[in-house]
Amino acid sequence: EQQFMLYCTGGIRCEKASAYLIQRHKIDPGSVFQLKGGINAYGGWLGGQSEFKSVFRGKNFQFDQRMVANEEQRLGEEVIASCHHCGAPCDDHTNCKNDRCHLLFIQCSDCSAAMDGHCSHSCIQDPEKAPNRGKLPKDLVPLYQWVSRGKLRRQ
Establish whether 119 is a catalytic residue. Answer: no
Q: What is the DSSP annotation of the chain?
A: ---EEE--SSSHHHHHHHHHHHHHS---GGGEEE-TTHHHHHHHHHHT-SS------S--EE-STT-EE-GGG---S----B-TTT--B---EEE-S-TTT--EEE--HHHHHHHTT-SSHHHHH-TTT-TTTTSPPTTS--SS----TT-PPP-
Q: How far apart are CA 12 and CA 29, in angstroms?
A: 17
Catalytic residue among 8, 86, 111, 119: 8
Q: Which residues are catalytic?
A: 8
